[in-house]
Every structure is written in structure tokens, then in C-alpha cells.
Structure 1
Amino acid sequence: MTIAVLVLPEAARANDSVYTDLDLDQCQTLAEDQMGVSLKCRGYRGEPVYFKEGDLRQSVFYGRVDKELIEGAFESFSAFNHINTKIEWRLNDAGEPFAAILRWFIDNPGPEGGSTKASRGEILVVSRVGTSDYGGSCMVALVDAKANADANVKARQIADDTAQDFACGMQEPEWVGKRGDLVSERTFSWPEGYVVE
């Protein structure tokens, strides 16, 4: 009598998430003037988080980023904006972060001029984390958090699918899912001649 044994392939291991808080008051000041500030903060397991603010807009880069980007790059949105304080890091099988997800608030004016909860846009920004082998960090994908009920799931999926191979300076981040009226166009400034290959 022969017994057949069905062997099912092992399911692919899902990437893990860990979370850190971004407390700008605990960051090291790299540069400051009347126009804005540049800070170096601590992320997951001490990974650097580089924060900049200027003209009521903010910019964030993650990981072991090239000096040219730290000093000369700015990636944000055309509308006034600010970031949330909770960073979600996506980890590979070795437990190393390869992507970061951060919620940005787009400060659209409300009926009385100031930004309100109803008028404010929310974007989950997926970014590549710089490593010792690749010193680029940039926005990989954008998810309208108000227009998509499953925005967090979408952000994690696109992070897992594209962040590790995304070519900063050569590829444009994509909008994923529905896009409502409260979001804003991405803006960026890269150092002259800087392209990460």
C-alpha cells in the first residue's frame, strides 16, 4: 500500500513592522537659520532620521544617507505641511529596516482660514531607508490616508514590493489607490548632479 504525502510550500514570511517615536526636541541640530532647521534624530536601533523644515514645509530622510542628500536635498509637498511623530519601519528577514512609513498632514485652509481636521489632507509616505551599500533615501510611494480605508495595508504592501530596489533620483514616487482633493503635489530639490544608482 502506497501512501501519498502532500507537501505544501511554506508560506513566504511576511515582513515585520516596528514603530518609533520622533521627538524633535531630542534631536541634534545640524544647521539652523531664520528660514528653517536641519536635525539628526534617532530611529529604530539608532538608525539616523534626518529632518528639515523650511517655509512651513518639512522633509525627512532615513538611514545611512549620503552627505550630499543630508546637506542639499529637500523632499516635501507644495502645500504647507507637517509630519506625524510615529514612524513605522518595515524590516527584512535579517531584521534590518528597508522602508519607513510616515503620515504627513497637508495644512489646507478651512472655512475660516486656518487648517482644520476636516480640511487637512493626510498622506502616508513610503520612503526607502539608506544603507551602507546604498546611500539614497527618498519617497517611494504616496497613499491618500483619507481616501483609502485600507491606506496602511496599501502602504505596507508597496513598501514591501518596491522600496528595496527603488532608484532614488531616477524614479518618481507613485500614488497608490484613490486620490482625493485634500492631498498635494510632491516637490523636491536634489543636490546638483546627484543621482543614486
Structure 2
Amino acid sequence: METPVTGARTTFRRLTPALIFAAVAVAFAVLWITGRVGAPSDSSAEAGFARDMATHHAQAVEMSFTVRDATTAEDVRDLAGDILTGQATQRGMFMGWLQQWGLDQGSIQPRMAWMAGHGHGQQTTSPGTAEASGQTLMPGMLSDADMKRLADAKAKDAEILYLQLMIRHHEGGVEMAEAALKLSDDTQVTGTARHIVNSQTGEIKLMTDMLAKRGAQPLPTGS
């Protein structure tokens, strides 16, 4: 005859798999709902920063591949390798954030709208690098004409132009990262933005020194 105790144990053993399954399902549901509820929205500064900085980084990678094919100077090739490796990796991370947040990689939001009120968001040209293009260019982004100039340059001319344009490009990246620091309280976003500010500020100094060794200087503001 089954005692109340053994009966309870039998019932517990029978219910345990169902209870475990239910508990796991509830846990996943809570995590999914919490993650989506707490995630940045499509129009948030975090989403805009991730999308726009991914595009910004993609151009830096393209610039760096271009100069590596145009020169044999080891210092420039080493710098270009560091930039394309680091920024390609960060670009993948930005895409991962968007996936984590349940957002598309593209958006109907205009470029730089997330920085509206910080000197951008309605900009149609980029000082020093742009020609009118009918679309918003991010700070420091090169125009098609700039990219062609870089692609056509060789040897020392390519080195100087790359360093000058990448300084301008980095300055724009730092500007965007500093805006993200002011606009976001997401720790992964602010941590990455802070790293971008620090690393690219250091590379600007390095590139300025590399230009000096070649008898050149950064492009004047507004040129």
C-alpha cells in the first residue's frame, strides 16, 4: 500500500519533467520579453550610432585596403592593417547589437538623425571632403571624388593623402562617439564609444607625426 509520503514522491517524480519544461519556458519568455522591452528602439541614439558608425567604419576599411595596394611604406601599411582589422571587427559588433536588439540593419530614419541637436542630422555635405550628393554625409566621411583621388594616388602621394583623409575621417568618428557618450546610458555602447574616442585620438596624433616625416600636414579645416 502506498503511503502519503511515497505517493507524494511518486507524484513529484511524475510532475518534475513537466515542471522543469514549464519553468525553462517561462524563464526564456521572461528573458526574451525583458530583453526586447529594455532594448533600444529603432529611432534611438544607440541604434543610430550602431548603424552610422558601421557605415563609417566600412569606409575606413575600404580606404585602408586601397592604400595598402598603393604603397610599400611599412609604417603606413602597418597602420592601415591595424585600422582595417580593428574597424572591421567593431563593425561586426555593431551589427550584432542590432540583431540582439531585434532591429534591422537598415532603417527609415535619416542618417545622423540621432545626433540632431548636436550639430548634425540635417547636414547634406561634409566640410573638407564633400560635394553635394543629395544625401546626408556623416562627419569625416569621404565623397566619391575623395575616394577616387585616393584610389588614383600612388606611393608617397597615396601615403600623404591617406593620412590626411584618415585624420579627417577619425575626427568625424570621434565626434560621433562623443555624441553617443552624451546621449546613451547603455554600458556596451558607451564603453565602445569611449574606446573609439581614445584609440582614434591616439591614431590622429600618430598620423600627424607620420605626415610631418613626409613634409606634410593635416588638411586645413574647411578645405
Rg larger in structure: 2
Larger strand share, 1 or 2: 1
| Structure in which a larger fraction of residues adopt helix | 2
TM superposition score category, shorter chain reference: under 0.3
TM-score normalised by structure 2 residue count: 0.25
